[in-house]
Chain A
Amino acid sequence: MRVSFRLNGSVVEVDVEPHETLLNVLRDRLKIKSVKYGCGIGECGACTVILDGRPVTSCLVLAAKVGGSEVLTPDYVARTELGRRIVDAMLEEGAIQCGYCTPGFLTTIYAAIIRGVRDADSMRRALLGNLCRCTGYVNIMKAVKRLLEDVR
């Protein structure tokens, strides 16, 4: 089936199978590799994208469902001014170890700030669905705090 949606600011039209997830279509058909496959069952947050302004795990969204929606992926987020500031804060605090979870964290942090999250505790709760298997949470939270001081 043919699905048309806004991807990172431009309209895309793509043929998808009903059983393909948004993660499958972004990575395999649209070649957006910033979206990572982690657990595939919505537990880890590596595949986080922003769907109509809200972060979701793209491994649990059928691609056929996003017709008419707006999707933002981590590579786009990283190119925005806010996204660059998030990445800078993460780099400065050593919040990136193996880096596999980073696009998901970046995307959730971005969505949270856009939606008005301004304190570390709320941000920590917003990030519960992003797992870092290197367990580098301390530095990720340091980056978050640095960033929030900056944003305030």
Chain B
Amino acid sequence: MLSINLVNTYRIPQTFEYYRPESLREALVLLSTIEGAKVVAGGTDLLVDLKFRRVTPRALIDITGIGELRSIGVGDGYVEIGSAVTIQELVESEVVGRHLPLLAEAAELLGSWQIRNLATVGGNLCNASPAADTAPPLLAYDAEVELVSLGGSRRIPLERFFAGPKKTVLERGEVLRSIRVPLYRRRAGWSFIKIARTSFDLAKVSAAVLLSLEGDTVADVRIALGSVAPTPVRARAAEESLTGTGFEEAVALAPELVAREIAPIDDVRSTAWYRLEVAKTIVKDAMRRAYERFLRVGAAP
């Protein structure tokens, strides 16, 4: 890979066609008729890849001008987030703050303010980085994604959307239209913890926890992690084992249980050993923070 010091990042050293359709249908037609067309939303990852020639699309189809992809709505039992909603819009959204505080917390930690104003939730998911900050919270909420093409639409769990590092199950001609997040019906505490070189860098490890208690017993717990496996992951076996145990016991057991469900690697940002040890620690920390919030949420009028 070319080092930044050897690349002139001022210009994009290739050209392509550019379209900014105003309807989803128009976008789908362009996408299916132009061989080598690529969807772009915020562009904060794609423009870097274009500058480094990691991708060479024939055409870019910018979906940020499509109104229906830019809204956040509440339906019967769910929140629906358009794929071109920016990360900063998530941070500022009252609906997200009220119903999906775990997502709001993670969104606030994604990149810098300048990046959050451009980057979109759909882009964060479609790039399928194991470090995508919006993925662990959305996995914890059991989010589903709606994929549309000229042939129709399908809805699948976000957990099945990721196919590997930088890979999704999106097929040619398909666009991520929206993310549907079921409302978490229980009284819940939540916490997203991200460990990174600087506060706005990509995560070396991240953990999202949703927690609900009955008395001092774990009634429901959801644990999702980033940057510790080929895709963002839910630690489902750990969740199952921890449900029904006392909270302190759950905190003591969680690190080893979670460690069995992750497969961190060495890369430019960190090492497998570090990621494993830190994942164990931040799962505990996130559970404790979620616990404190659970008590406070209950105490609120």
A residues apposed to B, CB below 8 Å: 1, 17-21, 23-24, 37, 39-42, 45, 48, 51, 54-57, 59-62, 64-65, 67, 108, 112, 125-130
Contacts and interface: CB of A to CB of B under 8 A. Distances in A.
B51 A40 contact: yes
B240 to A, nearest CB: 37
Nearest to A53: B117
A108 B200 CA distance: 16
B47 interface: yes
A128 B200 contact: yes
Interface residues of B, number: 33
A152 to B, nearest CB: 21
A39 B113 contact: no
13 contacts: A18-B60, A19-B16, A23-B10, A24-B10, A24-B11, A41-B4, A42-B111, A42-B114, A45-B114, A54-B117, A56-B114, A56-B118, A112-B113
Interface in B247-273: none
Interface in B74-107: 88
Contacts of A40: 8-10, 51
Given A41-B51, A128-B199, A62 B18 contact: yes
B contact face: mostly helix, strand, loop, or mixed: loop
Contacts of B17: 18
Contacts of B112: 42, 45, 128-130
Interface in B27-71: 40, 43-44, 47-48, 50-51, 60, 62, 64
Contact of A21 (B40, B47, B60): B47
B4 A108 contact: no
A119 to B, nearest CB: 15
Contacts of B20: 64-65, 67
B64 A55 contact: no
Nearest to B9: A40
Given A21-B47, A129-B111, A129-B112, A57 B118 contact: yes
B12 A19 contact: yes
A124 to B, nearest CB: 10
Contacts of A62: 18, 40, 43, 47, 60, 62
